[in-house]
Chain A
Amino acid sequence: SYELTQPPSVSVSPGQTASITCSGNILGSTSASWYQQKPGQSPVVVIYQDSKRPSGIPERFSGSNSGHAATLTISGTQAMDEADYYCQAWDSSIYLFGSGTKVTVL
């Protein structure tokens, strides 16, 4: 079965760039989406189909997919971006989530 691997945590200083990588063989044949979840809240999609941003998501959020790894980049990170982030892949109506990365803004 497929797996998506993310680092458990990433730390970033305010104003700097945070990058989260999601790796898995399935990403070689499908796109990645990314979700932000703050404590006590439901997840919110911030990137879909590798690099598309839903309306209302700030431009500092961007995504890419190269081979078997997808990356979420937060440029000019703000304190409000501190949250858990999950990558997600899709294949034949089945959704696969990564293990999640806690982004801490120090």
Chain B
Amino acid sequence: EVQLLESGGGLVQPGGSLRLSCVVSGFTFSDYAMNWVRQAPGKGLEWVSGISRSDGTTKYADSAKGRFTISRDNSKNMLYLQMNSLRADDTAVYYCTKKGSFDGYGWLDYWGQGTLVTVSS
């Protein structure tokens, strides 16, 4: 059974930092690209960042560039999102997601339960 379990969310002040983690099981982690997707309260889905399965190539939404860093540890089946210079509009549930295909067209076949990040003073 595929499982993705996020942790690390919480309340942080504007300008602060937070590191999200996601531990996965049930599939060969190193075979798939991984992504973070977020959802602000009452709003839609927003892709935040993605990382390739092996060479560490990373992509970021404009809203995350220069502030967030995605990384992975294939030996530990772990995905991370380091978030710096947090703003109020970063408040959201952050989902760890798995790319549905080994290569080519991207879709997200598994989602974690999400971890809530609240940026407020």
18 residue pairs from A and B, CB less than 8 Å apart: A33-B108, A37-B45, A42-B114, A43-B45, A45-B100, A45-B108, A86-B44, A88-B108, A90-B106, A92-B59, A93-B50, A93-B52, A93-B106, A94-B50, A94-B59, A95-B35, A96-B47, A99-B44
The 7 closest A-B pairs by CB, nearest first: A90-B106, A95-B47, A48-B107, A33-B107, A42-B111, A100-B44, A97-B45
- How many whole Å from B31's CB to the nearest CB in chain A? 16
Partner of B106 from A44, A84, A95, A98 at Cβ < 8 Å: A95
Question: In this complex, what residue of A is CB-closest to B109?
Answer: A45
| Total contacting residues, chain B, CB less than 8 A | 23
Contact partner of B37 (CB less than 8 A), chosen from A92, A95, A98, is A95
Q: Residues of B at under 8 Å CB distance from A? A: 33, 35, 37, 44-47, 50, 52, 57, 59, 61, 95, 100, 105-109, 111-114
Contacts known (A49-B105, A93-B50); A42 close to B113, Cβ less than 8 A:
yes
Closest Cβ of chain A: how far from B92's Cβ, in Å?
13
Contact of B107 among A42, A90, A92, A93 (CB under 8 A): A90
Tell whether, in the assembled complex, residue B59 and residue A100 are in contact, meaning their CB atoms are under 8 Å apart: no
**Shortest beta-carbon distance from A61 to chain B in Å:** 14
Nearest Cβ distance between residue B35 and chain A, in whole angstroms? 7
